[in-house]
Structures are given as structure tokens and as C-alpha cells.
Chains A and B, each alone.
Chain A
Amino acid sequence: EIVLTQSPGTLSLSPGEGATLSCRASQNVRSNYLVWYQQKPGQTPRLLIYGASTRATGIPDRFSGSGSGTDFTLNISRLEPEDFAVYYCQQYGSSVWTFGQGTKVEV
């Protein structure tokens, strides 16, 4: 299984600031098949980015994904109050998919 390690575990920021979240894979993610999700308490995950860098429908352009191979990044350019949540990366490049352990973005 590909292990995804997200860092930092918690990011303490203020609205208006930028956020950089990292996701590192234990081996190459085939074709950069990596997605990013946002999850708020009591809600199911919301797809933000697929294919490492393509925003899903309806996702604001302040969210951007980048990276390839084993190193991937989610950037949030200017945090809005509704962006404080937990973010997960997930790889779908192997037959067994895996999630990272999550990064909490808090005020």
C-alpha cells in the first residue's frame, strides 16, 4: 500500500492568510492520481482537487493543487472563514487506494 503522510498535522492561521498543506507518498503516485478533500465536522468529505491540480466543479480558485511523483501540495491563497476544516489527500493510482491522515486548518 502507498502510505500518504500529510504535514503539518495542524495549521493555525487567521482569515486572509495563505495556507500550504503537504502530502508525501511512500512511492510514486501513478499519473499523479491524487485528490484533495475538505471535511467539516458532521459532514461528508467534499472533493476539492483531482489529478493533483484540477479543481472540481464549484471549487473557488483560491484552492490550488500542485506536485507530482511523491510530493504534492494544496495551497489556499486567502483563507475564508468557511475554509477552516480538515483536509485529506487520497491517492488512486494503485488498485488499493489510501488517504493521508489529514491536516487540520484552525483559527
Chain B
Amino acid sequence: QVQLVESGGGVVQPGRSLRLSCTASGFTFSNYAIHWVRQAPGKGLEWLAVISYDGNNKEYADSVKGRFTLSRDNVKNTVFLQMNSLRGDDTAVYFCARLVYNWDEVGSHWGQGTLVTVSS
């Protein structure tokens, strides 16, 4: 079955960096784009970014563009989210997800999330 596991969260000071990982199993990883979504405590879902199946295309929400960078290793079945210049409003649970809404394939698979707390 499709499984996504995030890691790398923790407490970090404002202005510092953190790298999150999303390791996948149960499907052909190199065939799928991977998304990142976050949810601040008690708040709604915020789509952050997506990396294409081959890593050649990436899109970012305005809120993180220029600070966050996606990459992937299709040998290790892992996507990385490099987060720089972190701010207090980046505090959230970060989810990676495989989201497919095509007519011939529909699937919404989420990891359990990793908590990032930005605080001095």
C-alpha cells in the first residue's frame, strides 16, 4: 500500500534552516509528483509546493517561494524540502502527499506529518 513518511521536524530558531524528508514506499515513486502541504496549529491547510516525477519541474506558493526548495532522489524514494530563513509563521505540521486527480487515476495519500516549531 502507498506509504509516505515525513521526518526532520523539530524546534528551530527564527532565521535558521531545516530540511524535511519524505520517504515513500508501496508504489513506483519515480512515476509520481509529490506535494507538500502544511497546517499551522488550529488553522487550515496550506499548499506549499510540488515536485514533478523526475524532479525537473517545481512550483511553489508565494508564501515560501525563494525560501523553500524541493529536490528528490528517485533511487532512495525520497523528496526533500529545504526550508531557509524560517519565521514564526512557518510553525506548522508539514505533510507530504501524493495527490492525483486524473480521470484514469485518482488518489490522495498523505503522510502523518512532521511538526516544525520556529521559536527562539
Interface residues of A (CB under 8 A from B): 1, 33, 35, 37, 39, 44-47, 50-51, 56-57, 86, 88, 90, 92, 95-102
Contact = CB atoms under 8 A, between A and B. Distances in A.
16 contacts: A1-B61, A37-B45, A37-B108, A45-B110, A47-B106, A56-B106, A92-B101, A96-B47, A96-B59, A96-B60, A96-B61, A97-B35, A98-B47, A99-B45, A99-B46, A99-B47
B95 A44 contact: yes
A77 to B, nearest CB: 22
Interface residues of B, number: 21
Task: Kindly list the 10 A-B residue pairs having the minimum CB-CB distance in the complex, ordered from nearest.
Answer: A47-B108, A44-B110, A102-B44, A50-B101, A97-B47, A99-B45, A95-B59, A101-B44, A96-B59, A88-B45
Contacts of B50: 97
Contacts, number: 53
Contacts of B35: 97
B62 interface: yes
Nearest to A56: B106
Which of A57, A97, A101 is the most central at the interface, judged by chain B CB atoms within 10 Å of its CB?
A97
A19 B83 CA distance: 39
B101 A51 contact: yes
B51 to A, nearest CB: 12
Contacts of A1: 61-62
A103 to B, nearest CB: 10
Interface in B65-120: 95, 99, 101, 103, 106, 108, 110-113
